[in-house]
């Protein structure tokens, strides 16, 4: 009877799937390693949380930037090694979303709540607005266009708190910026993804790497404010590119 059960089980498998090349042990190990790399973002996030509880804001920002850099690495690796095909029953996309919400949204919201970057009376409401607006972003099935632009502000709150911490604008201005970005989450504006958008991809990646390097330098240099302003130059470039994509969609058709 055992051979008959095995035969029935084999017949239940779609023919196309039976004919697909089976992943090797090496490819499976690589795929799980990439998932583990993504999961390391949670470790960096917990270290950032520990730093915030100790009121070491600079160290917390360091860990958040490290998590951001990690997020820029695991996606290209997953696509390069076709992790989705090797491990079709495990969703790296869902794993990435969970880690991203923790490090891109929840921890920056706690940073705003516990630090002094916004007026004291508005710290908790501002943090809540960041988390709630991000839920819309993460739940939106049409959050990316066909050419890989984000629709609406893509909840990059980790980048926002970095600049609020280093540049120290008046708390009222910081609060206004958070309010505007929360509203832009729901707006039909297009925001460039530096690593996924095909047009000017080389320049976009170079700009993103330059910005990250300048931002990291700002955390350890006596010229922190100067380097922080310098790291804003690529951000302004991305904002201009996003505005052009929003205002001139016909130029990007096809």
Pairing type for strands 150-151 and 190-191 reads antiparallel
For residue 133, is it within any domain?
yes
For the chain, what is the domain count?
Answer: 1
Q: Do 73 and 96 meet the contact criterion of CB atoms below 8 Å apart?
A: no
For residue 49, is it within any domain?
yes
Residue 23: DSSP 8-state: P
Rounded to 5°, angle at Cα 159 from 168 and 111: 65
For residue 8, is it within any domain?
no
For residue 29, is it within any domain?
yes
Task: Name, in order, each residue with C-beta under 8 angstroms of 241's C-beta and a sequence gap of 6 or more.
Answer: 192, 200, 204
For residue 47, is it within any domain?
yes
For residue 177, is it within any domain?
yes
For residue 85, is it within any domain?
yes
Predicted model pTM? 0.88
Q: Kindly give the confidence (pLDDT) of every residue in the chain, 254 residues in length, as a single tens digit, with 9 standing for 90 and above.
A: 444 443 344 444 454 455 567 889 999 999 999 999 999 999 999 999 999 999 999 999 999 999 999 999 999 999 999 999 999 999 999 999 999 999 999 999 999 999 999 999 999 999 999 999 999 999 999 889 999 999 999 999 999 999 999 999 999 999 999 999 999 999 999 999 998 899 999 999 999 999 999 999 999 988 999 999 999 999 999 999 999 999 988 788 76
Q: Which domain, by its residues, includes 236?
A: 24-249
For residue 2, is it within any domain?
no
Q: Which CATH number characterizes residue 60's domain?
A: 1.20.120
């Amino acid at each position: 009877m055992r051979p008959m059960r095995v035969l029935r089980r084999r017949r239940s498998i779609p023919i196309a799937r039976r004919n697909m090349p089976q992943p090797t042990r090496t490819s499976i190990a690589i795929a799980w390693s990439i998932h583990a790399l993504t999961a390391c973002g949670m470790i960096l996030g917990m270290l950032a949380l520990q730093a915030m509880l100790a009121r070491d804001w600079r160290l917390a920002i360091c860990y958040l930037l490290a998590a951001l850099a990690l997020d820029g690495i695991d996606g290209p690796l997953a696509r390069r090694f076709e992790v989705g095909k090797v491990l079709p029953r495990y969703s790296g996309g869902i794993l990435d979303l969970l880690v991203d919400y923790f490090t891109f949204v929840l921890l920056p919201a706690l940073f705003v709540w516990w630090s002094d970057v916004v007026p004291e009376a508005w710290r908790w409401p501002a943090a809540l607005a960041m988390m709630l607006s991000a839920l819309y972003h993460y739940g939106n099935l049409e959050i990316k266009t066909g050419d890989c632009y984000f629709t609406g502000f893509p909840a990059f709150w980790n980048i926002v708190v970095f600049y609020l911490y280093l540049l120290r604008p008046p708390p009222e201005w910081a609060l206004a910026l958070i309010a505007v970005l929360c509203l832009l989450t729901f707006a039909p504006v297009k925001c460039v993804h530096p690593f996924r958008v095909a047009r000017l991809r080389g320049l976009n990646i170079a700009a993103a790497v330059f910005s990250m390097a300048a931002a990291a330098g700002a955390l350890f240099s006596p010229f922190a404010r100067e380097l922080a302003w310098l790291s804003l130059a690529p951000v302004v470039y991305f904002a201009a590119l996003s505005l052009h994509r929003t205002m001139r969609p016909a130029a990007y058709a096809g």
